[in-house]
Structure 1
Amino acid sequence: MKISNLIIVDSVYSIYLYSLIRKANITDCLFIVSDGIPKVIRDKIPNIYYIPSKNKKYLRRLFSSLALIKFRLKHKKATFIGHDHLFYSYIFLKNGFILLEDGSVNFKKYNSISLSNKVKELLIGSKLFGFSNKIKKIYLTDGAPILEDKIKKKVELINIKNMFDDLSDEGKERIKKLFSFSCGNNLIIDRLLITQPFSEDGRMTENEKVAMYIDIMKTYSISAIKPHPRELTDYSKYTSISIIPSHIPFQLIQELVSISEIISLSSTANNSIECKVRALGDSIIECYKRK
């Protein structure tokens, strides 16, 4: 089969976003992904190449890079779509690249990007997050303001709910199958806790994060938990509350489950939430770090 699009992404959210843009038809696409995409989803994608981000052996990294160069040359007439900030994105950056939103980072001011990303820019000789001249279009959701005038002319705003509603019944079933969504119809959740990878990102220890979320569960009578896709914490060890699999995008859950209230600290998913939201704020983290 001829590959029409090469998709360079490493977040479950962006795969969901792209699937909606393509109306759930991804059979003619080749996905280049890393550890941000769980195996349960990788196994459902027909054309995919997986490159481990934790692979530190030089020769294996070299062979992986050579394989990616081969894909670029073999499919040079394809459209390249995805993220421009991944450790392997530079191989695919070319004029006409289409950027996919990857969360709140795409809505920040350019001078607020992290030091590691600034170093990455120096190494690859190109600006990130859509500021490169090689980026011709940027898909962003319409839930947050665009702060940088330099990228506004490239942006095409999309509405996730409208795109899902516009899918055929067959398309909706393909989306559900891709993300292994198997909850029954008419599921109702009173209070859903959205957790975040604070320990994985080094903002607090694992024990501190678990203690914080256990207290939140008790204080707010949480009905169910939705862990972040990058979290490694097994919350089933600490509570009997229902846990929604982390690899299912929250935006999909919202379309298929009736939720009365969301509890979170400051999840980027808040931008697209339609029900009542109780944002507790990041300051609570410091309270548990001092314990």
Structure 2
Amino acid sequence: MIIVKAKIKNKNTENILYVNSLYSLSLYVYINDDKYNNTLFIVGNDIYSERIFEKIDNYIVVNMTYRPSRFDVFLCSIYIIPEKFHYIYSIIKKAKYLYGHDHLPLSGIMLSFKGSMILIEDGLKNHMNKRLSKSKVLIRSVIGNVSEPLGYDKRINKIYLTGLGVSNFSLNEKIELVNYNKFINSITHQLDGAFKYSFSTNKKYIKPIAILATQPLSEDQHLSEDEKIKIYDKILKKLEVQFTVYIKAHPREVTDYKIITNNIIPNDYLIETFILNESVVSIFSLFSSFFGCRDLNEMISIIQFGTYFNKNLIDKFGLIKCSDNNYDYIFDDVSL
């Protein structure tokens, strides 16, 4: 089954947004001046949050484990629409603009429906400059799929980026930079404050509050679940000497962090909102894209531990050193 859940009050929305990231959804809302009532949001079931989407009038939740066949993609590219896509096609074909990600399971099919897409940043992957081989690009093009994800397909006519990293110069003519500071400041007010987390005012904290922002390293098959848990447990135990630490998991994570701590913030709050949270003094991560927020609030320390301690992470993301020498001790006794 492709569609898991849907709520559509307006079948004639002008815009379609297809993403699998709450961060990208928030960026889209900022770019479009909070006019989200004229948008149909199509998101994966692994980021769906009833608390957030109850504030949105038009959305479709799709099964992210579903993968269309190459033949399905090809048929859609020549406008022979298989029955299983009729409902989505009937809605998308009426829209004026398609926004979103071009690397998701249904991206090629949706591009075939509309003919063009405006790309919305999806974190660090938009700045890593990793290209597909020419043979893969050719095969994907022949069947009508996105020839090369992350903006290289000729049907991607604009890319909204926040300037978190070094952009690929070959895409410069498509890139429109978003004011990162203004975007981050806007998140806490979006969707009636749905992305903002508030700490209990009734609880007394003996130590200052720190956030450990985790990443979907096992979900994306960069590490095993056990390896990921071992890394974050190690970090947690050492930081707890100095801080009251709360884990803030990535929205796509399914890891049960209750096995290492009871201080857990629900996945569907955006880590970027904690930059402006007066209760927080430090935010830690391995190499999350939100490290780009480090200059937004001089009252909060934002530290990334990097990848230097783990060969699998180095191979995948490159060698990243700890951003603060004061925290080198976290991994000084063992390589994980």
TM-score, normalised to structure 2, is 0.71
Greater CA drift, 13-22 or 246-255: 246-255
Partners of 1:95 and 1:133 within 8 A in 2: no
| Conserved 8 A contact 2:101-2:122 | yes
Cα gap change, 1:16/1:131 in structure 2, threshold over 3 Å: closer, same or farther?
A: same
Q: Which runs of 5+ in 1 are unaligned?
A: none
Equivalenced residues, count: 279
Residue matched to 1:79: 97
Q: Which moved more, 1:9-18 or 1:221-230?
A: 221-230
- State the match for 1:265 in structure 2: 286
Equivalent position of 1:282 in the other structure: 307
Task: Supply the distance in 2 between the matched residues of 1:194 and 1:121 (Cα, whole angstroms).
Answer: 37
**Larger radius of gyration between Structure 1 and Structure 2:** 2
Alpha-carbon distance in 1 for matches of 2:218, 2:276: 29
Alignment partners' CA distance in 2, 1:194 and 1:149: 31
Structure 1 residue 163 corresponds to structure 2 residue 180:
no
Structure 1 residues 137 and 128: CA distance shift in structure 2, 3 A: same
Aligned residue number for residue 104 of structure 1: 124
Which structure would you say has the larger RCO, counting Cα contacts within 8 Å and 6 or more residues apart? 1
Could you tell me the percent identity over the aligned residues?
A: 28
Q: Does 1:247 align with 2:257?
A: no
Shift in alpha-carbon separation, 1:95–1:280, aligned structure 2, 3 A? same
The question of whether the paired residues in 1 share the 8 Å contact of 2:19 and 2:100 is answered with yes
Greater Cα offset, 259-268 or 79-88? 259-268
Q: Distance in 2 between the 1:112 and 1:57 partners?
A: 20
Distance 1:259-1:180 versus aligned 2 partners, 3 A rule: closer
2:77 maps to: none
- Structure-2 residue corresponding to 1:6: 16
SS in 2 for 1:284: coil
Say whether the 8 Å CA contact 2:291–2:303 is kept in structure 1.
Answer: no
- Report whether the alignment pairs 1:46 with 2:57: yes
State the 1:213 CA deviation.
Answer: 1.2
Give the alignment's Cα RMSD to 1 decimal. Answer: 3.4
Distance 2:137 2:225 in 1: 25
Structure 2 partner of 1:135: 156
1:74 counterpart SS class: coil
d(CA) in 1 for partners of 2:154 and 2:248?
Answer: 38
Q: 1:109 to 1:56 in 2, by over 3 A?
A: closer
Query: Is 1:172 matched up with 2:189?
Result: yes
Gaps of 5+ in 2: 1-9, 74-81, 312-330
**234, 254, 257: which one pairs with 1:235?**
257
